[in-house]
Structure 1
Amino acid sequence: MKILVLRPERAAQRTAEALARLGHEAILAPVLTIEDLPSPIPDGPFDAVLATSANGLRKLKNRREIASLTDLPLIAVGDRTAEAGREAGFATVHVAEGDGRALVAEAAARFPTPARFLHAAGADRAFDIAGALAGHGHETIVVELYRATAATKLPEAATAALRDGTAGAVLHHSGRIAATLAALAEAEGLGEALRALPHAALAPRIAAILGEAGCGRVEVAARPDEAALLEALQAILNR
């Protein structure tokens, strides 16, 4: 079956490979583009680096300040982000299984109060990690290293797949992706075609956005990782 994959291009390629192993074909139609932000990275000392996405670590890897940071422990959300951290040169990597809340719990458990963290982040964040860690008595310096810019027009691949009915389902890795796709499809007169499809969402908040857009067939991943998202996809397709 052909599945719409809407995440930025580099990540979308990995998803396409995972779908192929399940016997599906990805229709790559990114609705977000990752752009660098030249935010200054303040001097330490820091007790650890925090990362909620691989994108933040890839951008950090290209900054001259990385040399002074890789001796620190890294706390990363999920295996993919942890892998990006090792590629950036971090030797000590702790993996928080879940989302930003899991990262906060991991950091609070590992570091006595008060600790000072550097969060390699994007401009758009679903959860306030700095605020949550402040509640534990820690200081977090947030450095925005990238932003995801939304497309202003539905990608041609998505337009064609929705118009001719070749898309069998849609994967949603973020709320921004879901909201952007819904708005762009509506603008192209393809809202009904989108709503008719089954959707797999990485988290309940993403499913809520799809529900508000009128999508009635939505399956939520049991965990906020891609393996669980693909399990959700299989579940809704099996039904």
Structure 2
Amino acid sequence: MRPVAVLRPEPGNAATAARAEALGLTVIRLPLFVVRAVAWHCPDPADHDALILTSANAVRFGGTALASLRGLPALAVGAATATAARDAGFDVVETGDQDAVALIALAHARGFSHALYLGGRDRMVAPGGPIAATVTVYASDALPIPAEAIQQLRGAVLLLHSARAARRLVALADERHRYRIAALSEAVRDAAGPGWDGSTVAAAPTDAALLAAARSLAD
């Protein structure tokens, strides 16, 4: 069976690796990015009617300023983000099972019109529609990856949790036909482009679904 390579940053890397190993998969850990907190100014909660969260990193790295926003109903992408938000004291009223675009549409359908979006420096969400403001609370910085490390992944199934990771992999990996990829969503696979030895997409944007998809390529 082919090994699977976990490319996401910590602490998600260790969590995904542990789930993969519990399934009997051989795991290679190679984070492409490191996540860090950034200084940010917390807007007045009275100016907003909801909180949009598309990554658990917004909660993990948001710091003490998050406390003043706990009175806002929160909408989250994915169970992991929702769990992190609840653990931090937020009232999660909706958990989306797709992506940020779908969650924003859900916020609009719920009647929210002045939502606050907390995300990363390289987020792909801009103000508009139900989102009144966006604030960067964390950054994901690229780690130096030697060519030899990527070459050692040849033959493995590479797990892609984000479009940014997919684009980074494209820049790092030559001879794509030597690698297989499992993507968290269609958008992530699209970001990786064609030419891989094989590719698949998770049935849902969850670690469990991604690992199930990867296993189908690893067998």
User: Post-superposition shift, 1:234?
Assistant: 2.0
| Identity percentage of aligned residues | 36
Distance (Å, rounded) in 2 between the aligned partners of 1:93 and 1:58: 19
Residues 1:80 and 2:77 are matched in the alignment: no
Name segments (4+ residues, structure 1) moved above 4 Å: none
- Choose from 55, 58, 62 the match for 1:56: 58
Letter in 2 for 1:56: A
Tell whether the 8 Å contact from 1:82 to 1:93 is kept in structure 2 after alignment. Answer: no
Residues 1:237 and 2:218 are matched in the alignment: yes
Equivalent residue, structure 2, for 1:91? 91
User: Post-superposition shift, 1:155?
Assistant: 8.0
Cα–Cα, structure 1 residues 223 and 129, in superposed 2: closer, same or farther, change >3 Å? farther
Structure with greater proportional helix content:
1
Equivalent residue, structure 1, for 2:28? 27
Cα–Cα, structure 1 residues 122 and 155, in superposed 2: closer, same or farther, change >3 Å? farther
Equivalent residue, structure 2, for 1:143? 135
User: Post-superposition shift, 1:209?
Assistant: 3.2
Larger Rg: 1
Distance (Å, rounded) in 2 between the aligned partners of 1:96 and 1:86: 15
User: Post-superposition shift, 1:15?
Assistant: 0.5
Residues 159-198 of structure 1 mapped to structure 2, 5 A cutoff: 159=150, 161-162=152-153, 168-185=156-173, 191-192=174-175, 194-198=176-180
Cα–Cα, structure 1 residues 37 and 236, in superposed 2: closer, same or farther, change >3 Å? same
Alignment partner of 2:39: what SS? coil
Gapped regions of structure 2 (runs ≥ 5): none
Equivalent residue, structure 2, for 1:13? 14
Equivalent residue, structure 2, for 1:130? 127
Cα–Cα, structure 1 residues 155 and 48, in superposed 2: closer, same or farther, change >3 Å? farther
Length-normalised TM-score, structure 2:
0.88
Count of residue pairs brought into register by the alignment: 217
Query: How much is the aligned-residue C-alpha RMSD, in angstroms?
Result: 2.2
User: Post-superposition shift, 1:139?
Assistant: 4.3
Distance (Å, rounded) in 2 between the aligned partners of 1:130 and 1:196: 40
Letter in 1 for 2:122: D
1:57-78, Cα deviation, whole Å (9 max, x unpaired):
1122x13x32221122111111
Gapped regions of structure 1 (runs ≥ 5): 186-190
Residues 1:203 and 2:182 are matched in the alignment: no
Cα–Cα, structure 1 residues 160 and 51, in superposed 2: closer, same or farther, change >3 Å? same
Distance (Å, rounded) in 2 between the aligned partners of 1:105 and 1:218: 28
Equivalent residue, structure 1, for 2:198? 217
Letter in 1 for 2:157: A
Tell whether the 8 Å contact from 2:117 to 2:131 is kept in structure 1 after alignment. Answer: no
Distance (Å, rounded) in 1 between the aligned partners of 2:49 and 2:111: 8
